[in-house]
Amino acid sequence: MKETDLDLTIENDMQPTRAPRFLLILVILTLLNTGLALLGGILSFLAGKPSQKEIEDSKVELARSIVELRKLKMDYFVDVFTKMEAINDAMYANFIMFNLLAVFIAGIGAASAFMMLKRMKLGFHAYIVYSFLSILSVYAFVAPVNVPSILILINTIFAGLFVFLYSRNLKWLTK
């Protein structure tokens, strides 16, 4: 039998109009994450690029941590901290673009969550884009060899988990 517009309308009318509780929880968690990223990016713009002294102080602290890790023979963490230093250097060198990209990506994440609350399937697809961009954005400023694989792995696990959890609500999304 062929579905008609009337069948689709009746089917949509049978679905609850309120968002499922699980979707609300996911959206709240997403908005907390993206809201903090937006706030952090905006505050970074307002505060401006750190002074050379602040950058040097940060490098000295990181160097101390690396020395301590070497004493403890924790080579893996020495490598991670060394790569984090490269990420920090790239962030300071591209301060405005780094923060603009972070705010833009966080904006996509927040917008996708709001779209899903409005029952738009496009929000789910935008969330997938947001997830990929948040994982890969570091590569815009840092060579892949200088990115700790644990950072990418953890981000990928969390992003994949949230995409999977959001996919459990696709039946409720209609548009």
Structural domain contains residue 157? yes
| Confidence (pLDDT) at 175 | 60
Structural domain contains residue 104? yes
Structural domain contains residue 2? no
Structural domain contains residue 112? yes
| Confidence (pLDDT) at 45 | 86
pLDDT at 93 over 60: yes
| Confidence (pLDDT) at 173 | 85
The helix/strand count (H/E) of the chain reads as 7, 0
Pick from 92, 99, 86, 84: nearest CA to 49: 92
Torsion angles phi and psi, residue 118, rounded to 5: -90, 15
Q: Which domain holds residue 43?
A: 20-49+95-167
Domains of the chain: total: 1
Structural domain contains residue 128? yes
| Confidence (pLDDT) at 94 | 93
Structural domain contains residue 44? yes
pLDDT at 101 over 70: yes
pLDDT tens across 15-66, in order?
567 889 999 999 999 999 999 999 999 999 899 888 999 999 999 999 999 9
Structural domain contains residue 105? yes
Give the DSSP per-residue string, 31-76. HHHHHHHHHHHHHHHHH-SPPHHHHHHHHHHHHHHHHHHHHTT-HH
Helices (H), 72-148: 75-93, 95-117, 121-136
Structural domain contains residue 99? yes
The whole-angstrom separation of Cα 163 and Cα 13 is 26
pLDDT at 10 over 70: no
